[in-house]
Amino acid sequence: MRHWNISTGRLVLRQGDITRLSADAIVNAANSRLAGGGGVDGAIHRAAGIERLQEACRGIIGDIGSLPPGEAVITPGFDLSATHIIHTVGPVWRGGANREPELLQNAYANSLALAHEHDIQTIAFPAISCGVYGYPAEDAARIALTALRQGLEAGLVREASMVLHGQAAFDTWAAAAREIL
């Protein structure tokens, strides 16, 4: 684990299972239908309780149709230690010329803004879009860490954590943090 003090807040990099983290909210790298799936999304659905979380997500999708990349919505955490789940859709990597950096930055920034609206003080993020969506980890790390630093500087949350899967991912993000923070 590594951490940096930023303004009155703290940014944390850690390895582990985001579903087991004690935080006010965890962020789900969701699909646009909030339908659950593989990776972090599937793990969060299973840990929170599939039926209740899918029912809450269906209610949101019934109202909005689909969640566009870069946007965020919130549900209860149900069976998680976290009180809330913030669902955001990251962009699918298509080479970088289709607004992917902007949309990825928005996914982090809008999640932080939503956390602030709900008086969430501690929030944990996975590496959004870095799995099956194919975003290059080094680029994603720089975008995400910059967005988290800006959110902490603005006082949107007290602590923002990146929860990474495996040593290689942790090392990639730690290298990016040394450049940015």
Domains contained in the chain, number:
1
Q: What is the pLDDT of residue 174?
A: 97
Of 17, 24, 41, 119, the active-site residue reads 41
Alpha carbons 68 and 60: distance in angstroms, whole number? 13
**CATH code of the domain in which 30 resides:** 3.40.220.10
Q: Which two tokens stand for residue 84?
A: 């809330």
- Closest-CA residue to 112 (of 143, 88, 137, 79): 88
- Closest-CA residue to 40 (of 134, 103, 128): 128
Q: What is the pTM of this model?
A: 0.97
Alpha carbons 108 and 120: distance in angstroms, whole number? 14
β-bridge partners, 123: 25, 160
- Closest-CA residue to 105 (of 60, 82, 139, 132): 139
Q: What is the pLDDT of residue 96?
A: 95
Place of tokens 């929170």: 48
Q: What is the pLDDT of residue 19?
A: 97
Q: What is the pLDDT of residue 82?
A: 98
Q: What is the pLDDT of residue 55?
A: 97
Q: What is the pLDDT of residue 125?
A: 98
Q: What is the pLDDT of residue 173?
A: 97
Q: What is the pLDDT of residue 114?
A: 98
Q: What is the pLDDT of residue 64?
A: 97
Q: What is the pLDDT of residue 63?
A: 97
Q: What is the pLDDT of residue 122?
A: 98
**Active-site residue flag, 171:** no
Residue type, 39: G
User: What secondary structure letter does DSSP report for 2?
Assistant: E
- Distance from the Cα of residue 104 to its chain's centroid: 10
Element (H, E) at 163: strand 159-164
Domain range for residue 106? Answer: 2-180
* Residue 3 burial (C-beta neighbours within 10 Å; 0-12, 13-18, 19+): middle
Per-residue pLDDT of the chain (181 residues; tens, 9 = 90+): 999 999 999 999 999 999 999 999 999 999 999 999 889 999 999 999 999 999 999 999 999 999 999 999 999 999 999 999 999 999 999 999 999 999 999 999 999 999 999 999 999 999 999 999 999 999 999 999 999 999 999 999 999 999 999 999 999 999 999 999 8
Show contacts of 57-64: CB within 8 Å, 24+ apart: 57/87, 58/34, 60/34, 61/33, 61/34
Q: What is the pLDDT of residue 44?
A: 98
